Chains A and B, each alone.
Chain A
Amino acid sequence: MPAVSKGDGMRGLAVFISDIRNCKSKEAEIKRINKELANIRSKFKGDKALDGYSKKKYVCKLLFIFLLGHDIDFGHMEAVNLLSSNKYTEKQIGYLFISVLVNSNSELIRLINNAIKNDLSSRNPTFMCLALHCIANVGSREMAEAFAGEIPRILVAGDTMDSVKQSAALCLLRLYKTCPDLVLMGEWTSRVVHLLNDQHMGVVTAAISLITCLSQKNPDEFKTCVSLAVSRLSRIVSSASTDLQDYTYYFVPAPWLSCKLLRLLQCYPPPEDGAVKGRLVECLETILNKAQEPPKSKKVQHSNAKNAILFEAIALIIHYDSEPNLLVRACNQLGQFLQHRETNLRYLALESMCTLASSEFSHEAVKTHIETVINALKTERDVSVRQRAADLLYAMCDRSNAKQIVAEMLSYLETADYSIREEMVLKVAILAEKYAVDYSWYVDTILNLIRIAGDYVSEEVWYRVIQIVINRDDVQGYAAKTVFEALQAPACHENMVKVGGYILGEFGNLIAGDPRSSPLVQFNLLHSKFHLCSVPTRALLLSAYIKFINLFPETKSTIQEVLRCDSQIRNSDVELQQRAVEYLKLSSIASTDVLATVLEEMPPFPERESSILAKLKKKKGPGAVSVNELEDGKREGGELNGGGERADSSAMAASNASTPSPSADLLGLRPAPAVGSAPPSAGSLLVDVFSEGSAAPSAGVNDDGFLSSAPPPPAAAAAVSEEPAPPLPEAEDLLNKFVCKNNGVLFENQLLQIGIKSEYRQNLGRMYLFYGNKTSVQFVSFSTTVSCPDELPTQLNLQTKTVEPLIEGGAQVQQVVNIECLTDFVDAPLLNIKFRYGGALQNLTLKLPVTINKFFQPTEMLSQEFFQRWKQLSQPQQEAQKIFKAGHGIDTEVVKAKLLGLGTALLENVDPNPENFVCAGVIQTKAQQVGCLLRLEPNAQAQMYRLTLRSSKDTVSKRLCELLSEQF
C-alpha cells in the first residue's frame, strides 16, 4: 500500500483488509467480498459524485479484491478518472489499477492513452515518471504503438530531469523487448549513445541497459559506444571509492554500472583504435590488481560487488581472447578462487576456467590447477560444483594429462551423482578415444567404464569401441583377451556381454591358442551369460555362436545342440526363433566355404566423427561451453579417427541422432523404404553410430552388418530442390480417375498416401485431403500448397488451411480445401507437397481432381422438352462431338453408373433408341449457369462410342467432351 500521510490514510481499506484476514474460511471471505463489492457498486452508481479520496479508496479495495483472485468487472472508469487527478496518491492508485487490471483490448485504452499523454507532456517530473512506469508495466504492443515515438524524445531532451530520463530509458527498453519493430532509434541513435557521458550515474546505468539491448540487435549502429564505454569505465575504475558518493557501494565505485559497461563491451570485438584499447587493457589490469588488494571491508556485500566486476572483466578478457598476459592473470586469479570457502565463487571460477581452457594462451595456465580441480571433483559437497569440475577436467584434458584425468574421472564415476553419470560416461569415452596413444589403454578404459557404470553406457559408446577394435588390427588380440577376462567376473553388465559376444565372435580365434581360453571355454563362458540377457543381446549372442561355428568347426556340434534346443528354436520371440532356425539350417546345409564367405570377418568401418560427441552435444544442448571447446579441440583428435570427414557433420549429427531407429532388421527381411535418399532408418542401427545421413548401412556395427553386408536400399530419385516439382507424369491420369467419382486414393507411393473425399453443391465444393505417413518415421517440415496455374485463379477460387508441419510415423493429417467455381475452367489446380523424410527433401506435385463437371446440377426433363432444347443449342460451336473406341468393353450398367457419377441426370425414355444414353444438367458457376445436354451412342458391334455434347458455352462443351471421352 502506498505510504500515506496523516488524514490520507484509508481507514475503510484497512478495516476491509483486516476483516478479510480475520475470515475463518473461504466462504466467509467470499461473503465479505460480495458485501464489499455491493457497497462499492452502490457508491459507483451513476447518480452520485464521489470525491477523489473515496474514489481512490474504492479503487484500492477493488484492486485488493482482484489480487485476492476474484474477478472485477467494473470500476475501470473510476480508475481512469483518477488519472486526471492532481494528487500524487490518487494518480498513483489509478496507474496501479490500470497496469494491473486493464487489458490491452479494452475500450478505455484510448482514454488511458490520453491521460498518459497529458502526464508525459506535463512539466511535473513525478507525473511523467508515473506515466512512464505505467507504459512499461503494461508494455503491450498498443502502448508501444502509441508512445514509441514520444519516449526517445523525452530521453534525449536537454531539459528532462534525470529521474525522468532514467525511467524513460528503462521504459523504452521494455517496449523494445516487446516489439522491436516499433521502436526505431534512427535519428536518436547517437544522442542515446552520448547518454553514456551523462553527468548523472543513474541515467548512465539505465541508459546502458537500453544500449546493450539495442546494440545486440544492430551492433554496427552503436559501434561508437565502445570508446565512450571504455572512457567511462576507466573513469570509474580509476576513481577513488569516495568520488562517486551515492554510487559507491561498500567501497566499490558503481559496481552495477561497471558490470553493465563490461557486458556492453562483450558485444563487440576488441577496439581497433590503439589508444582505446590501451585504455581498456589498463582498466582490466586495474580491476585484476584491485582483486589482489586486501578487502576494504569485511562485509560480504563488498566482496560480492568486487567479485562481480572481476568476473565480468574476466568474461570480457575471455571474449577478446587476444591478450595472453591478461588471460594468464585471469587464470591465476581464478585459481585462487578455486580454493575459496565461498561455494558460489568456486562454482563461478570453475565455470570461467572452462572457457579459459579453450583459449590457446591460457590452456597451459589452466592445466596447472589440475590437482585442485581433481580435488574439487572428489571432495566438493555441492553436486553442481562437482559437475563444473568435471566439465573443466574435460576441457583441460590434452594428450599430456589424458591418462591421469581419465583415471580420475573413472574412479570418481563409482561414487558420482546419478544425475551426471551418463554425461560423465560419455566424456570419459570421448577423452579416452581422443587422446588414446595406445589402443590397449583405450580398450581397458572403455571396458572399465562398462564395468563401473554399465547402466549409463549408451549404445554409442560400445558401438564405438567395437568400431575401433575392428578397424585396428593391433588391438584385436588384446581386446579379445581382455574381454574374455572381463566376462569371467561372476556378474557382468549386459553391455559387457554385448561387447564380449561381438569381439569373441570376430576375434575369438586370436586367443583360442591358449588352453585356458579354448573355443569351447569361450563358448561356454558366453553361453553362461545368455539366459540373463535381454532379447537384443541374446540375438547378438546367437550371431556370435554362428560365427564360432565358422571360426572353430570343433564347436559346431555343441552350438547346433544349443540352437536346436526348444528354448531357442521355439522361442516365443520371433526374432530369436528365426535366428535360431536360420543359423541352424545355415550351419547344417552350407559347406565350409560358403559358411566362411557368409560369416567372414567384418570389413573395417569407414572413419567418421565419433557419434558419442553428437550424443554429448544433444545432452548438453547447444551453446554449452565445453562442447564448443570440443570443436576446437578436434585438431588434436585426429589420431584415432584418421582425420577426414568430421568437419561439418555436427549439425547433421544432432538431427540424425534424433531420428528413431527401428529395431534391428534381420538380414534385411523387412522391406526397406525405397524412396528418399537412403533413409537413415533403413534397417540399421548404425545411423546412431555414425553421424551422417548418408551412412552406408553395410558398415553397421549392429548385428545385421555383423553378419551380412546388406546393400543399401536403392534410393529413388527424388527432386531435392526447394522449387515445387513439375507435376508428376501420371498426374493427368490421376485426374481422370476422379472425373466420375468424388472419393478415393489420389496418390500413393512407398512413403505417402493421399486420400480424397469431396462434396459439391452448386458452385461450391469442399475437398478433404488426407495425407497418410506410411513409414514409421515422422515427416518434418511438411507443407502443402495449392496453386492455380495460368488463368485459373480468375476461374476458380481455392482456399486451404495450412497443415501441421509434422506427421508422425503411421499417422494421418487432414487438410480441407474450399472451392468456389467462379466461371467455367479447363485446367486443374496443382497441389504441391513438400516434406523431409529422414533429412531428404521430398517434393511432388499433383493435379487436384477438380473438374468442371463437379459443379453439375442434374436436371430432369421429358423427351419433348429435351429435344426442344437440343435443337435450341444447334449452333456448331455449341456442340462437341467425339467418336472413340470403348476402352473397357460396353457394359450398360457401368456406363450408367459413370454418367450418374458425372453429376448429370440420366434421362430414361428420351431417345427413341433405347441403347443410347441421354443426360441433362446445369453447370453452376458463380458468374453464370451453363445448361448441358449429353448424348452417348454406343455401337456394340464396333465397340465404339459416339459422344455428343451441347451446351450454351462452347468451352464447356469441349472440355466436357474431352473429360468424358477418357472415361469409357
Chain B
Amino acid sequence: MIGGLFIYNHKGEVLISRVYRDDIGRNAVDAFRVNVIHARQQVRSPVTNIARTSFFHVKRANIWLAAVTKQNVNAAMVFEFLYKMCDVMTAYFGKISEENIKNNFVLIYELLDEILDFGYPQNSETGALKTFITQQGIKGQHQTKEEQSQITSQVTGQIGWRREGIKYRRNELFLDVLESVNLLMSPQGQVLSAHVSGRVVMKSYLSGMPECKFGMNDKIVIDKQGKGGTTDEAGKSSSGKQSIAIDDCTFHQCVRLSKFDSERSISFIPPDGEYELMRYRTTKDIILPFRVIPLVREVGRTKLEVKVVIKSNFKPSLLAQKIEVRIPTPLNTSGVQVICMKGKAKYKASENAIVWKIKRMAGMKESQISAEIELLPTNDKKKWARPPISMNFEVPFAPSGLKVRYLKVFESKLNYSDHDVIKWVRYIGRSGIYETRC
C-alpha cells in the first residue's frame, strides 16, 4: 500500500508531502530528490528502488508526483492512482503547475486525506468529491442541510458516483472517441509495430438516474448479435469492415461488468459531468493516417541530404490538422538549408532537429521537404545513430475503425425518452509515437 505521497517542483523542492504510514520517514523525501530528480543521469524508469523503499513517479510539466512504499504493492495500481490524482487536481484547479499547487495546497491536502486512507485508495471520482470537498476553487453551491446529510449515504452507497435529484432543462450528452495511434515503420515502409490506444470520454447532462446503453462495432458483440439477430445485421458483420477487434478494454466503475461479461452489452448509470467511459487498445487493421517516406544521403563527411515525403491516407473530404514532422539532425550539424512545398520548416538547433509544420492537409495528398545539412568534421569516431523521424497530427476519425453504433438513454421515473436527449459524437485521432526510421 502507498506509504506516502510527495509532490516536488522542478528544482526538487517539496511542495506537498503526505505520509500515510509510519514505515516512511522524512528522509524518503530527500532520497527521492537526490536519487531521481537530481540524478546525474536522467532516471528513465518510473519505479526506483532506494534502500528497500520503492518510489513510483509521474511527471506533469515540471511537477513530479511520487508515491512511496516499503511494501510490495501492485505497481499498476499505484500508477493508476497517480494518474487519477492528476485528473482530480486538474478537475479542481486546472493545469498542474507549481503556481497552482502552491495556491491550492490546503485543497490538495484535503483531497489526499479523502482519496487515500492509510495508503489504500478510496473514492477518487471527481464528481463525487466535488460534492463534499468544496474549496474556493469550486463555485459554492449553497447546499441545504438535507443535501449535506445525503452526501455520506450517497458517497458510501451503491452508486457513489452520482447523486440523486439532478435536473436539466435540456438533456444532452457528448461522446468523444479519442485515439492515439502509435507506429514504428522501417525505411522501406514495413510496419514494425503499430497500435492504437483509445478512450471514450463522455460528458453527460442528464436528469434523474438514467440508465444508458452503449453500443459500438466491437467484433465479439456484433458476431454475437449476428448469430441470433436479423439477417440484415448478420450480413453487415460478415462484410468484416464494419467490426473491429479490441485487444483489451477497461471501463469506468459505473459500467455493470457482469452484464458485459454475460451479454457483452455496456450498460451503466453515468456520473454527472465529464468522465472516461472506457479505454481500449487495438492492434489489428489500423488505418495509418500518414505515410512518411524518408531519403537520407550522406555526401562525403561534411554534407547530408535529406528528402522526406509525407502522404496522407484517408478520405479526401477529411482534413488533418496540426501536422508536424520532426527530422533529427546529426549532433555535429553546422548549417541547414530547407526547401518545402507546403507549410513551414525550420532547423531548431536547440532540439537538434528540423521541424516541419503544416496547418492543414486533406486526404490522399502528398507533400515533400528537402534539406541540405552541413556537418562539422569531429574527432569523434562515433557514427550518427540516425534516430527515427517522428510525426504529430490530428485527424477527425478513429484510426482503429471504432464506430459508435448507439447510445440509448432510459429514464423510467422522469418523463423524457431516448429521443429527447440531444447526443453529440466526435472522433479525434491523434498521433502517439509515430515514427519512421531513416
Closest to B10 in A: A25
Q: Are B376 and A45 in contact (CB under 8 A)?
A: yes
B117 at the interface (CB under 8 A from A): no
Question: With A24-B62, A25-B10, A41-B333 in contact, do A31 and B376 touch (Cβ < 8 Å)?
Answer: no
Please report the C-alpha to C-alpha distance between residue A69 and residue B41 in the assembled complex, in whole angstroms: 11
Q: Are A34 and B352 in contact (CB under 8 A)?
A: yes
Question: With A76-B379, A106-B379 in contact, do A31 and B350 touch (Cβ < 8 Å)?
Answer: yes
Question: With A24-B62, A73-B332, A74-B332 in contact, do A41 and B376 touch (Cβ < 8 Å)?
Answer: yes
Interface residues of B in 329-343 (CB under 8 A from A): 331-335
- How would residues 22 to 50 of chain A score, 1 for a CB under 8 Å from any chain B CB and 0 otherwise? 00111000011011011101101110000
Kindly list chain A residues whose C-beta atoms are within 8 Å of the C-beta of B380: 73-74
Q: Are B334 and A44 in contact (CB under 8 A)?
A: yes
Kindly list chain A residues whose C-beta atoms are within 8 Å of the C-beta of B333: 38, 41
Closest to A71 in B: B380
Kindly list chain B residues whose C-beta atoms are within 8 Å of the C-beta of A32: 350
Interface residues of B in 61-96 (CB under 8 A from A): 62
Closest beta carbon of chain A to B163's beta carbon, Å: 42
Q: Are B349 and A38 in contact (CB under 8 A)?
A: yes
Closest to B376 in A: A41
The tally of CB-CB contacts under 8 A between chains A and B is: 51
Closest to A77 in B: B379
Closest to A43 in B: B334
Q: Are A25 and B334 in contact (CB under 8 A)?
A: no
Closest beta carbon of chain A to B290's beta carbon, Å: 27
A342 at the interface (CB under 8 A from B): no
- How would residues 54 to 88 of chain A score, 1 for a CB under 8 Å from any chain B CB and 0 otherwise? 00000000000000010001101000000000000
Q: Are B350 and A74 in contact (CB under 8 A)?
A: no
Closest beta carbon of chain B to A80's beta carbon, Å: 12
Q: Are A24 and B10 in contact (CB under 8 A)?
A: yes
B378 at the interface (CB under 8 A from A): yes
Kindly list chain B residues whose C-beta atoms are within 8 Å of the C-beta of A24: 10, 62
Kindly list chain A residues whose C-beta atoms are within 8 Å of the C-beta of B302: 46
Q: Are A42 and B10 in contact (CB under 8 A)?
A: no
Please report the C-alpha to C-alpha distance between residue A35 and residue B331 in the assembled complex, in whole angstroms: 11
Closest beta carbon of chain A to B433's beta carbon, Å: 18
Closest beta carbon of chain B to A35's beta carbon, Å: 4
Q: Are A35 and B349 in contact (CB under 8 A)?
A: yes
Q: Are A34 and B62 in contact (CB under 8 A)?
A: no
B30 at the interface (CB under 8 A from A): no
Closest to A44 in B: B376
A272 at the interface (CB under 8 A from B): no
B374 at the interface (CB under 8 A from A): yes
Closest beta carbon of chain B to A837's beta carbon, Å: 41
B351 at the interface (CB under 8 A from A): yes
Kindly list chain B residues whose C-beta atoms are within 8 Å of the C-beta of A39: 349
* Residue among A24, A25, A38 facing the most chain B CB atoms (10 A cut-off): A38
Kindly list chain B residues whose C-beta atoms are within 8 Å of the C-beta of A46: 302
Kindly list chain B residues whose C-beta atoms are within 8 Å of the C-beta of A106: 379
Please report the C-alpha to C-alpha distance between residue A576 and residue B380 in the assembled complex, in whole angstroms: 68
Please report the C-alpha to C-alpha distance between residue A41 and residue B332 in the assembled complex, in whole angstroms: 7
Closest to B381 in A: A73
Q: Are B374 and A45 in contact (CB under 8 A)?
A: yes
A107 at the interface (CB under 8 A from B): yes
Please report the C-alpha to C-alpha distance between residue A35 and residue B377 in the assembled complex, in whole angstroms: 18
Closest to A69 in B: B40
**Chain B interface SS verdict (over half):** loop
Closest beta carbon of chain B to A552's beta carbon, Å: 54
Closest beta carbon of chain A to B213's beta carbon, Å: 46
> Among the listed A34, A42, A73, which residue makes an inter-chain contact with B350, where contact means beta carbons less than 8 Å apart?
A34
Kindly list chain A residues whose C-beta atoms are within 8 Å of the C-beta of B349: 34-35, 37-39
Please report the C-alpha to C-alpha distance between residue A94 and residue B302 in the assembled complex, in whole angstroms: 26
Closest to A35 in B: B350
Question: With A25-B10, A74-B378 in contact, do A41 and B352 touch (Cβ < 8 Å)?
Answer: no
- How would residues 5 to 28 of chain A score, 1 for a CB under 8 Å from any chain B CB and 0 otherwise? 000000000000000000011100
Kindly list chain A residues whose C-beta atoms are within 8 Å of the C-beta of B10: 24-25
> Among the listed A31, A41, A73, which residue makes an inter-chain contact with B334, where contact means beta carbons less than 8 Å apart?
A41
Please report the C-alpha to C-alpha distance between residue A780 and residue B9 in the assembled complex, in whole angstroms: 55
> Among the listed B62, B334, B379, which residue makes an inter-chain contact with A38, where contact means beta carbons less than 8 Å apart?
B334
- How would residues 339 to 367 of chain B score, 1 for a CB under 8 Å from any chain A CB and 0 otherwise? 00000000001111000000000000000
* Residue among A41, A45, A69, A76 facing the most chain B CB atoms (10 A cut-off): A41
Closest beta carbon of chain A to B100's beta carbon, Å: 16
Closest to A39 in B: B349
> Among the listed A25, A42, A45, A73, which residue makes an inter-chain contact with B62, where contact means beta carbons less than 8 Å apart?
A25
Kindly list chain A residues whose C-beta atoms are within 8 Å of the C-beta of B350: 31-32, 34-35, 38
Q: Are B351 and A31 in contact (CB under 8 A)?
A: yes
Interface residues of B in 253-311 (CB under 8 A from A): 302
Kindly list chain A residues whose C-beta atoms are within 8 Å of the C-beta of B376: 41, 44-45, 74
Closest beta carbon of chain B to A320's beta carbon, Å: 51
Kindly list chain A residues whose C-beta atoms are within 8 Å of the C-beta of B374: 45
- How would residues 375 to 389 of chain B score, 1 for a CB under 8 Å from any chain A CB and 0 otherwise? 011111000000000
Kindly list chain B residues whose C-beta atoms are within 8 Å of the C-beta of A37: 331, 349
Please report the C-alpha to C-alpha distance between residue A46 and residue B302 in the assembled complex, in whole angstroms: 10
> Among the listed B40, B62, B379, which residue makes an inter-chain contact with A74, where contact means beta carbons less than 8 Å apart?
B379
Please report the C-alpha to C-alpha distance between residue A69 and residue B262 in the assembled complex, in whole angstroms: 60
Kindly list chain B residues whose C-beta atoms are within 8 Å of the C-beta of A34: 349-352
Closest beta carbon of chain A to B391's beta carbon, Å: 21
Closest beta carbon of chain A to B25's beta carbon, Å: 23
Kindly list chain B residues whose C-beta atoms are within 8 Å of the C-beta of A73: 331-332, 378-380
Please report the C-alpha to C-alpha distance between residue A144 and residue B47 in the assembled complex, in whole angstroms: 49
Interface residues of B in 185-214 (CB under 8 A from A): none
Interface residues of A in 95-145 (CB under 8 A from B): 106-108
Please report the C-alpha to C-alpha distance between residue A74 and residue B333 in the assembled complex, in whole angstroms: 11
Closest beta carbon of chain B to A443's beta carbon, Å: 47
Kindly list chain A residues whose C-beta atoms are within 8 Å of the C-beta of B42: 26
Please report the C-alpha to C-alpha distance between residue A32 and residue B335 in the assembled complex, in whole angstroms: 17
Closest to B42 in A: A26
Closest beta carbon of chain A to B12's beta carbon, Å: 11
* Residue among B332, B334, B377 facing the most chain A CB atoms (10 A cut-off): B334
Please report the C-alpha to C-alpha distance between residue A341 and residue B318 in the assembled complex, in whole angstroms: 88
Please report the C-alpha to C-alpha distance between residue A714 and residue B357 in the assembled complex, in whole angstroms: 89
Please report the C-alpha to C-alpha distance between residue A245 and residue B302 in the assembled complex, in whole angstroms: 61
Please report the C-alpha to C-alpha distance between residue A46 and residue B10 in the assembled complex, in whole angstroms: 40
Please report the C-alpha to C-alpha distance between residue A41 and residue B40 in the assembled complex, in whole angstroms: 26
Kindly list chain B residues whose C-beta atoms are within 8 Å of the C-beta of A107: 379
Closest beta carbon of chain B to A78's beta carbon, Å: 11
Closest beta carbon of chain A to B304's beta carbon, Å: 14
Kindly list chain B residues whose C-beta atoms are within 8 Å of the C-beta of A35: 349-350
Closest to B62 in A: A25
Closest beta carbon of chain B to A515's beta carbon, Å: 57
Closest to A108 in B: B379
Please report the C-alpha to C-alpha distance between residue A39 and residue B335 in the assembled complex, in whole angstroms: 9
Closest beta carbon of chain A to B291's beta carbon, Å: 30
Kindly list chain A residues whose C-beta atoms are within 8 Å of the C-beta of B334: 38, 41-42, 44-45
Kindly list chain B residues whose C-beta atoms are within 8 Å of the C-beta of A108: 379
Please report the C-alpha to C-alpha distance between residue A76 and residue B380 in the assembled complex, in whole angstroms: 11
Closest beta carbon of chain A to B350's beta carbon, Å: 4
- How would residues 84 to 113 of chain B score, 1 for a CB under 8 Å from any chain A CB and 0 otherwise? 000000000000000000000000000000
Closest beta carbon of chain B to A484's beta carbon, Å: 48
Closest beta carbon of chain B to A648's beta carbon, Å: 48
Please report the C-alpha to C-alpha distance between residue A31 and residue B331 in the assembled complex, in whole angstroms: 13
Kindly list chain A residues whose C-beta atoms are within 8 Å of the C-beta of B379: 73-74, 76, 106-108
Closest 10 CB pairs of A and B: A38-B349, A31-B350, A73-B380, A41-B334, A35-B350, A73-B378, A25-B10, A35-B349, A41-B376, A45-B334
Q: Return 24 A-B CB contacts under 8 Å, by A number.
A: A24-B10, A24-B62, A25-B10, A26-B42, A31-B350, A34-B349, A34-B350, A34-B351, A34-B352, A35-B349, A37-B349, A38-B349, A38-B350, A38-B352, A41-B376, A42-B334, A45-B335, A69-B40, A73-B332, A73-B379, A74-B379, A106-B379, A107-B379, A108-B379
Known: A24-B10, A25-B10, A37-B349. 5 other contacts (CB 8 A): A25-B62, A34-B350, A35-B350, A73-B331, A107-B379
